[in-house]
Amino acid sequence: MRITRPNWVKHTDEKDKRSPIYSISVHPDGTRLASGGLDKKVKIWSTLPILDLEAEENEANPKLLCTMSSHTGSVLSVRWAHHGRFLASGSDDMCVVIWGVDPEGGGRVFGSDEVNVENWKALTRLVGHTADIIDIAWSRDDSMLATVGLDKMVNIWDGATFQRIRKLDQHGDFVKGVTWDPVGNYLATQSDDKTVKIWDVTTWTLVHSVAAPFANSPKSTFFRRLSWSPDGAFIAASNAMNGPVFVAAVIEREGWGSDISFVGHENTIQVAAFNPHLFLPPNAPHTRPNASVLVALGADDYSISIWRNTKHKPLVVLQNLFERALLDLCWSNDGYSLYGSSADGTICAVHFTEAELPDIAPHNVTDEILAEFDFKPPPRATPRPLPAAPTASSTGFGPSVSSGGHVNVLQPRKAKPKPLNGKKRIDLSGGGDSRASNGFGPPNNFQDADAFSSAPIQPLASPSAAQASTARMFRDAHSAFGNGTSDGDNVRAGHKRKASLLVEGAERVPKNRTMGGSSVRTGEVSEIRAPRVPVAGPSGQSGRFLPLPGVQNVVRTQFQGSELEAQNAVQAGQRNKIVLRRDGQDQWIDYVPCGITILSVSDKFGAAAGERGELFVYSSAGRHLATLKLDSPISEMTIKGGQLAVVTAKCLLRVFNMTKLKSAVPPISIESLLDAPVDSSGGTSNALDLTRLEVRPNGVPIVYTSEPCAFVYDTNLSSWTPVASPWWIAHSQQSDRRSVSSGPLAEIELYLSSSWTKPDDIGDRPQWFDEAVEMGHLESRMKASILLDSKEEYRHWLMKYAGVLGREGFRERAEELIKDHVGPIYQHKKDLEWEDTLFGAPKRDWAKPLLATLASTTALSGLANHWQQLLRNASAEENAW
C-alpha cells in the first residue's frame, strides 16, 4: 500500500490560501480526477503524477488538466458518469452543470496563470432545486441522474435529455446523500431528518424509511454520503450512532434491517464508499454467498478506515491524514486506488498492489451476481437526446425557464471545419478519434449534440484499458507539450499552446529575441588558478577559513532543462562571460569583471559567486536582481524556492529572499558549529568541516557538519539549534524509526545516519535514562519540525510524544503540552502572550487529535477527558458570542 498527498492538488481563495475540497470523483478510465471546492471551480487533474513519483517529477507530464468556472457558488459535488463522457457538478448556486470535453479547446484560463491542457465545456445546466445541491449520483447504466440538496428535495433527471423525470419531496429536512441500487430497482437517500429512505424507481414510491440507527445522530456534518455495495446486498450509511459510539450503519436489502454497523471512529462519519469490485476466493463459484466487498469510511476524526464485510475489524486504519474533517471518498474503476478529500484543502491517494488485493474479481462477475436478482426494469419511452439549441446568448446559457422539466442548453459556437491536410490532431482523450472504443469524448467538431448524446454507451473500462488510456493520454500530452513536437518550438506545460499545434494554417507566433544563438559548449574543463586566500582579520579575530574552489575555465550547473554556464577568461584580452542556455540555445549573456567559482540556478533566478567575494544574482530572463560585495569569497551556495543562502570563507552565513529582495537572515557566524568535539576522555579531536548547506523555502538555513550533525538557525532566539546529532542516533529508542515520508527532518536524519554508524557499546543506562532520552528526542523533533515549517512531521511526532507520555503516565509534562496547545480558558489569551496559531492554523485544532491520543491511553485518559470537556465549553461560549 502506498499513500501520497500531492500538495499541488488544491483549490485556493482570493489570498491564494487553500480552501476546502468538498468533492472528488475519478474518471472510469482512471486517468483523471475531478474536484470541486469553495473557490466555485471544478478542476480536473491527471492521476498519473499523483500515483507515480517519477511521473510527478517529469515536467512533461501536465498535472492540472482543466479549470472550469461556470458555477457562481461553492462546488459541493462532482460525479463522472460511468461511460466517462459527462461530468456532473452541483453547487450552492442551486444549479447542476453537465460538462463534456471539447477536443478543439484548451489554452490559458482567462484572468489566470493556469493553462487548460484539455477543455471541458458546460453542455447544459439543470435548474430545479431552490437551495444548495449537496450530492449527485448517476445510475449504474447512466440512464438517470439523481440530485439532492438543502431544499429537502430529490430530483431525478434523464441521463440523455437531462429533462427532469420526477421530484421526491417526502424528507423532512436537508437531504445530504444519495446512492443508486446497482441492480436498478431502488434509490436510497439520506437526510438530516435522521432517516434513510428507499425508493422504488419503477413507481417512485417510498418502499421503506430506516430511522433507528440515526435517532441520536448529530446534524453537524456537512454531508451524509452513503453507498450501495456492488452486489446490491446492503447499504453503508454514514452519520449513525450505536449508543454513544459513532458508526456507519449497514442496511440489508432483505427486509431493510440495520442491526450491523462498522464501529471504531472517534467522531462522526461523513462518507462511505464501496470498492466497485467484488472479491472472491480462488476457484469459488460466482455466487453472492461466496463474494465479499470492501468499503471505505471517512470521518471527522481525520481518518479513513477500510473494511471487508467478512471481517469484524478494519483491514487498515489511516490516521491523521488531514487536519480537518474528511468530506469525500471515491475508488478508481480498477479497484486498486482510493482517493479522499478534506476541508483542509488537501487530498490523499491510497494505492494497493495486486498482491494486497489478490482476490479482486473482474466486473463481469459483478454482472453475473446482479443477474441473480432477476430484475428487469419496465420499458421507458426512448427520450430525445440532448437537443441542439439556437445560438447561445453571451452568457453561455440559454434563457431561464421554469423548472417543470425543461433544462437550459448550452450550445457551443460553430466554426467552419478546416482541413487537416493529413496532420493528426493532438487528442488527450485517449486516441486520435474521439469516437474511440472507450466511448470518451464527443465528435471532433463538437457541433452535433444529438450524435454526441445518442452515441452508444460503452462498458466500464478494465484495468488494462485504463492503463492503456493513461499511457496514450500522456504520450499525446508529451508530444504536445514536451520535446516531441514536430512543428518547431518546444512548448512546455504552463505556457499557452501555439495555434499551429491545433489548427492547420494558423499563423506562427514569432520567437522572442534572445542574446546570441547556439554557442559551442567548451569541452575540457581545467583549473586556471588557485583560489584567493582571505586576509586574516585584526588581532583577536579567528583565523579559521573555509576551503574555496579554484577558478576553472568553465563552471556549469543545470536545473530542469536550463543550464547556467560561466566561461572564465584564460588569457589576456578575453572576457569573463555568463550564459543561460535552454535546449541548446543561448537565452541571455552577461560579462563580469572577475572569474566565477560557483553557480546555482532555479526556475526563479540564478546566482554566480566571484573569486573576490562578488555575488551576481540574475532573474530567469537575465535581469540583474542584485550585485553584492561580501566580506570574503563564497565557499558554499545554494538556492531553494525564492531563497539564496551563502557561506563565505570567513564562516559567515547569509540568506537572501530574492522574491522580496530582502535579507532573510542577517550575517551569522557558523564557526562555533565547527569547533572540535570533546570525546569521552575529555580530549578534543580535529576541527569539523562544513559538509553541506541547505535553505528551506521559509528562509531557514540548515548547516551540516562532519561530526555528523545538522543545525537550524532559530530566528526567534537568534541561535543555532541542533536538529539531528550522534547523541540521538546512539541513545534514543526513536532513532531507528523513520519520520513521515518526504519530510525535511526525515531527509536530514537519513542523510546523517548514512554517514554514521551506531556503536555497539554506548555505556551504562542509569535509571530513567531511556525514558528521558526518548522524550528529549521527540521534543527536539517537534521543535525542529516547527523551525523547518514541516507540519506533517510535527503532527507525526506530536502524536508519538503524546503516546509516550500516556504510556509512561507523565501527567505534569502532558498537562504542560496540553496547555501550550489549548491556551488560556478563563483568561484572555493576550494576558499570557500565548501564540494562538501554529503552521497558520489555530493551536486548538492541533489540541483535538492530541487529546484524542491521550484519551486512548490508560494512565492519562481522565486528564484528556477533562480538557476535552473544557475545550468544548470554551468553543460553545465563543460560538455563543
Distance CA 817, CA 808 (A): 15
Q: Higher model confidence: residue 500 or residue 649?
A: 649
Over range 90-96, report the average pLDDT: 93
Report the pLDDT value the prediction gives residue 240, as an integer from 0 to 100: 92
Mean pLDDT across the chain, nearest whole number?
79
Report the pLDDT value the prediction gives residue 531, as an integer from 0 to 100: 78
Distance CA 554, CA 577 (A): 10
Q: Residue 415: which pLDDT band, with cuts at 50, 70 and 90? A: very low
Helix, strand, or coil here: 189? strand
Report the pLDDT value the prediction gives residue 684, as an integer from 0 to 100: 57
Report the pLDDT value the prediction gives residue 416, as an integer from 0 to 100: 40
Over range 365-387, report the average pLDDT: 73
Nearest C-alpha neighbor of 861 from the set 847, 851, 869: 851
Where are the domain boundaries for CATH 2.40.128.630 in the chain? 525-531+543-674+685-706
Quick one: cell of 764?
Answer: 551504562
User: Alpha helices, DSSP H only, in 10-52?
Assistant: 48-51
Over range 137-156, report the average pLDDT: 94
Q: Residue 312: which pLDDT band, with cuts at 50, 70 and 90? A: confident
What DSSP letter does each residue of 703-741 carry, written as one string? EEETTTEEEEEETTTTEEEEEE-HHHHHH-TTTTS--ST
Report the pLDDT value the prediction gives residue 505, as an integer from 0 to 100: 37
Check residue 87 and report its DSSP letter: E
Parallel, antiparallel, or unpaired for β 562-567 and 576-582?
antiparallel
Position 728: which residue type? W
Report the pLDDT value the prediction gives residue 516, as an integer from 0 to 100: 58
Indicate whether 446 pLDDT > 60: no
Where are the domain boundaries for CATH 2.130.10.10 in the chain? 2-278+298-373
Over range 182-204, report the average pLDDT: 94
Indicate whether 307 pLDDT > 60: yes
CATH number of 2-278+298-373: 2.130.10.10
Report the pLDDT value the prediction gives residue 770, as an integer from 0 to 100: 83
**Does CATH place domain 525-531+543-674+685-706 in 2.40.128.630?**
yes
Report the pLDDT value the prediction gives residue 525, as an integer from 0 to 100: 74
> In this predicted model, what pLDDT tens digit does every residue of 767-811 receive, in sequence order?
888 888 888 889 999 999 999 999 888 999 999 999 999 998 999
Check residue 360 and report its DSSP letter: B
Helix, strand, or coil here: 678? strand
The CA distances from residue 529 to 383, 576, 648, 719, 810, in Å, are 84, 14, 19, 37, 62
Entry field: residues in the chain: 881
Distance CA 6, CA 351 (A): 13
- Long-range contacts of range 567-570, CB-CB < 8 Å, 24 or more positions apart? 567/522, 568/528, 568/595, 568/596, 569/595, 570/528
> In this predicted model, what pLDDT tens digit does every residue of 453-478 receive, in sequence order?
333 333 333 434 444 444 444 344 33
User: Alpha helices, DSSP H only, in 518-616?
Assistant: none
Cα dihedral value 433, 435, 438, 442, nearest 10: 110
Q: Higher model confidence: residue 827 or residue 856?
A: 856
